[in-house]
Chain A
Amino acid sequence: MSLIKFTNKGIYCEQGRFYIDPWQPVDLAVTTHGHADHVKWGNKAYLCHELTKPILHQRLGTDLVIETLPYNKQIDINGVKLSMFPAGHVIGSAQIRLEYKGEIYVVSGDYKVEFDGISTPFEPVKCHTFVSESTFGLPIYKWQPQDIIFNQIRNWVSDNRDKGKTSVLVAYSLGKAQRLIKNLSDYCEIYVHNSIANLNEGFVKAGVDLPDTIRITPELKKEALQQGIVIVPPAMAEGKWIKTLQQAATGVCSGWMQVRAGRRWRSADAGFALSDHADWPGLLSAIEATEAEKVFVTHGFTATFSKYLNEIGIASEEVKTQYGNEEEEEPTPTTIEAN
């Protein structure tokens, strides 16, 4: 009998009577990470990694019942042994390991295998059944090491400065923004949008070593911004505020920027293929390392990736979930002027 079921509310563990990343309200939601497509409002209780707690408070409110776990600590829920392992996706992201009568399941949530400088590095976990994402599950997605990408970004910023342009990087407030801050703060001053600043505050309180940034307010001098880097979430990228900057040049940081069509679709001035998801080789190496006999493929290029796994001798099935819309569902940030 399978330890997990894919139901219309989410991934369900019947023996343990809890859901993992459900998209409809349930009693206990085990939460892999804080992106909007993986955690919804309205669950009676949440169980997540300790660094995901401040994110949930930030995004869903303070009147929540939240239990936390550190990585590598095992607890028992209705006879199911549950523990969390780093997924390397964003700060606090966790793979959920379930064990029942010797059967081991791992639900990865979202993950990447490259160390990004700030999230606890991905750790492969041996299991019988692995639930993997496949956001970039096509062989066209092969990331360059992040040092190369950060060099490209620095060159671009320097070029913009010379031309009197303001560098605006577009990045998710959770994950990508902190990664940029960590890796670029030694280069110049970083100005962040409210939604990012709020998350950062939560992280710092929880003990994350995050470099200082400046919250964008209407009082800030546009000339100062022009000398630094401005980071805004995607929902702000085409907003009015950007237009008030001194000749804003926008650079989108996303795995989708790997493909020319992705760059043009976003009508950005530059695209940097910097992703918090595993690329094609990353997905394959991670799956291999689990030594799983069975792999369920959730959001992304599910059909293709799962077909490929079967061809190379790893039994796999695609699963329909509601994950994979982190961008569309990121809460609309408040405008700069409103604060």
Chain B
Amino acid sequence: MKRFSELIQQLETSNKTNDKIAALVDYFSNADDRDKPYVIAMFTGKKPKRPVNTVLLRSWATELSGIPPWLFQESYSSVGDLSETIALVLPPPEKITDRKLHEWIKDLAALTGKPDEQKKSFILDAWNSLDTPERFIFNKLISGNFRIGVSHKMLVNALAKQSDTDSNKIMHSIMGKWQPEAITYEELIEGAHVNTDNSWPYPFCLAYALEMQPEELGDVNDWQAEWKWDGIRGQIVKRNGELFIWSRGEELVTDQFPELQFLKDELEDGTVLDGEILSIKDGNVQVFSILQQRLNRKTINKSQLNDAPVGFYIYDLLEYETQDVREKTMSERRTLLEEIVSKLQTKDVALLSPIITFNSWAKLAEIRQGSREMNSEGIMLKRKDSLYHSGRKRGDWWKWKINPYTVDTVMIYAQKGSGRRANFYTDYTFAVRDGEKLITVAKAYSGLTDKEIKEVDSFVKRNSLEKFGPVRTVKPELVFEIAFEGIAESKRHKAGLALRFPRILRWRKDKKAEEINTLEDLRQLLNSTLS
């Protein structure tokens, strides 16, 4: 595990992509072969089953370090990461072990189902034989949440470089279904498992935000415009009689959407569709907050099926009659796609995402103004002769989003951040005015520069009114303009409504707390989206 611990430290102490790739290449060239598939699994978010829950880990660590639970909590608030907090509060190790990463992982997996006492003695013994950086990794192996600033793309690039293999092939290979204990590094790189695997998805083709004037894109006839739908991007794979639905987060969500199961019978084998999972009722796309009721549920009841019926707007065709058609132009793919959709027996559930007809950029801009009425986020522009790229590629696909909603708020609470920002007040809660009172409407922790964060941090330290654990009540003085994508009714929030994707648009140093928006302003907005 020492070699892996070294890799993690190298990845963490550099913010340059090239250095990180070099560290990864170096690791995959020298590490134990049996460790490698586990590391790839970890970096691609393949979580093993948690053998021990975090409540137990916390209590054992607290007990072993001889500190009261509240002090452990304070430490955790300051560190911002549970695995790291545990690694740091424990007394120094009394012995040294040098075991391989895969040995640790296997032993941990074997703990599942064992009595707590047995788990405890194993974990405590491990803690007592590892140094702080290794303990941190060991704890991460248990919790399975290893987020280390290595994107899939970066990992794939490193593996491609190390093995001198095409990166698309590796992306396919590592995104498929495989178990680290049942595959060798070589097999994984060669993609030995993917041909026999019916489920593997293609990497999504992603769009960049349009930051120029659309006129600069040239002739309108070269472009296809569609609505940019606000749902869950999904890929539907039908091969050898099986149906799989993948989300953009590379999770299989097949069972969550019974409405789409008919595609298993109606799509030909060897068909892969790219589209958006949406709630569609009476032919209209509903707002995201309605679809949200359907997400990540183990069971779905009748009223949910009735209130938030799910449909699929199809954007593109990736595989046709078992052939990868991503190298065909979009116009060609669209023709094939239209043929497929026309053959479906079940109508009005899986639909073609409509094409917007327009003859000038000015006309399209006008149409775009109506996005909100369609419950769409704006317009997608795709070059008619574009291929279906893996990942993001500048130039062929653009998202031309409408401007977000905004509201002026005042900061009332601040909390220290986590991770990189654990010692600065970076997480803020914002309020609008409701008569004489201030009422919380959003929490946000992004959108400021490091310099501004330091400035706000210093304000918080000087203007704290009360402490509630890690949270500070702050004098309501700093005004921030918050941008958000949507608004929904919410019984859980005091304000009776919730903002979607709130983030700080800018710090309004020019405004006073008296000038912020009111709750009534937001209620009016909410009513306008529901009608």
Contacts of B15 in A (CB 8 A): 264, 267
Taking the complex as formed, is B81 at the interface, i.e. its CB lies under 8 A from any CB of chain A?
A: yes
Taking the complex as formed, is A164 at the interface, i.e. its CB lies under 8 A from any CB of chain B?
A: no
Q: With A139-B75, A267-B15, A311-B68 in contact, is A261–B423 under 8 Å at CB?
A: yes
List residues 14-65 of chain B with CB under 8 A from any CB of chain A. Answer: 14-15, 65
Taking the complex as formed, is A263 at the interface, i.e. its CB lies under 8 A from any CB of chain B?
A: yes
Is there contact, CB below 8 Å, between B92 and A260? no
Q: How far, in angstroms, from A262 to B418 measured CA to CA in the complex?
A: 10
Q: With A139-B89, A304-B71, A304-B74 in contact, is A261–B14 under 8 Å at CB?
A: no
Contact with B along A265-295 (1 / 0, CB 8 A): 1011111000000000000000000000000
Is there contact, CB below 8 Å, between A139 and B424? no
Residues of A participating in the B interface, judged by any CB pair closer than 8 Å = 138-142, 256, 258-265, 267-271, 301, 303-304, 307-308, 311
Taking the complex as formed, is B435 at the interface, i.e. its CB lies under 8 A from any CB of chain A?
A: no
Contacts of B424 in A (CB 8 A): 265
Q: How far, in angstroms, from A153 to B15 measured CA to CA in the complex?
A: 20
Contacts of A311 in B (CB 8 A): 68
Q: How far is the CB of B19 from chain A (nearest CB, A)?
A: 9
Contacts of B79 in A (CB 8 A): 140, 259, 261
Q: How far, in angstroms, from A150 to B80 measured CA to CA in the complex?
A: 28
Q: How far is the CB of A219 from chain B (nearest CB, A)?
A: 30
Is there contact, CB below 8 Å, between A263 and B12? yes
Is there contact, CB below 8 Å, between A264 and B75? no
Interface centre among A140, A262, A263 (most CB of B within 10 A): A140
Taking the complex as formed, is B419 at the interface, i.e. its CB lies under 8 A from any CB of chain A?
A: yes
Is there contact, CB below 8 Å, between A265 and B421? yes
Interface centre among B71, B81, B467 (most CB of A within 10 A): B71
Is there contact, CB below 8 Å, between B88 and A259? yes
Q: How far, in angstroms, from A259 to B83 measured CA to CA in the complex?
A: 12
Q: With A259-B422, A261-B422, A261-B423 in contact, is A140–B78 under 8 Å at CB?
A: yes
Taking the complex as formed, is B489 at the interface, i.e. its CB lies under 8 A from any CB of chain A?
A: no
Is there contact, CB below 8 Å, between B12 and A142? no
Contacts of A269 in B (CB 8 A): 13-14
Known: A260-B81, A269-B14, A270-B13. 5 other contacts (CB 8 A): A142-B88, A260-B136, A261-B80, A264-B420, A271-B13
Instruction: Name 9 interchain pairs, CB-CB below 8 A, sorted by A.
Output: A139-B67, A139-B89, A259-B84, A259-B422, A260-B84, A261-B417, A267-B15, A304-B74, A308-B68
Interface centre among A259, A262, A269, A270 (most CB of B within 10 A): A259
Q: How large is the interface on B (under 10, 10 to 19, 20 to 34, 35 or more residues)?
A: 20 to 34
Q: How far, in angstroms, from A304 to B73 measured CA to CA in the complex?
A: 11
Q: With A139-B71, A270-B13 in contact, is A262–B419 under 8 Å at CB?
A: no
Task: Kindly report which residue of chain B lies nearest to residue A265, judged by CB atoms.
Answer: B420
List residues 198-241 of chain B with CB under 8 A from any CB of chain A. Answer: none
Taking the complex as formed, is B85 at the interface, i.e. its CB lies under 8 A from any CB of chain A?
A: yes
Is there contact, CB below 8 Å, between B92 and A142? yes
Interface centre among A139, A258, A262, A265 (most CB of B within 10 A): A139
Q: How far is the CB of B281 from chain A (nearest CB, A)?
A: 45
Contacts of A259 in B (CB 8 A): 78-79, 84, 88, 422-423
Is there contact, CB below 8 Å, between B12 and A264? yes
Is there contact, CB below 8 Å, between B418 and A261? yes
Contacts of B92 in A (CB 8 A): 142
Contacts of B70 in A (CB 8 A): 307
Q: How far, in angstroms, from A301 to B73 measured CA to CA in the complex?
A: 13
Q: How far, in angstroms, from A263 to B84 measured CA to CA in the complex?
A: 13
Q: How far is the CB of B452 from chain A (nearest CB, A)?
A: 14
Q: How far, in angstroms, from A129 to B130 measured CA to CA in the complex?
A: 40
Contacts of A258 in B (CB 8 A): 88
Contacts of A308 in B (CB 8 A): 68, 71
Task: Kindly report which residue of chain A lies nearest to residue B422, judged by CB atoms.
Answer: A261
Q: How far, in angstroms, from A303 to B461 measured CA to CA in the complex?
A: 14
Q: How far, in angstroms, from A289 to B14 measured CA to CA in the complex?
A: 42
Task: Kindly report which residue of chain A lies nearest to residue B416, judged by CB atoms.
Answer: A261
Is there contact, CB below 8 Å, between B423 and A139? no
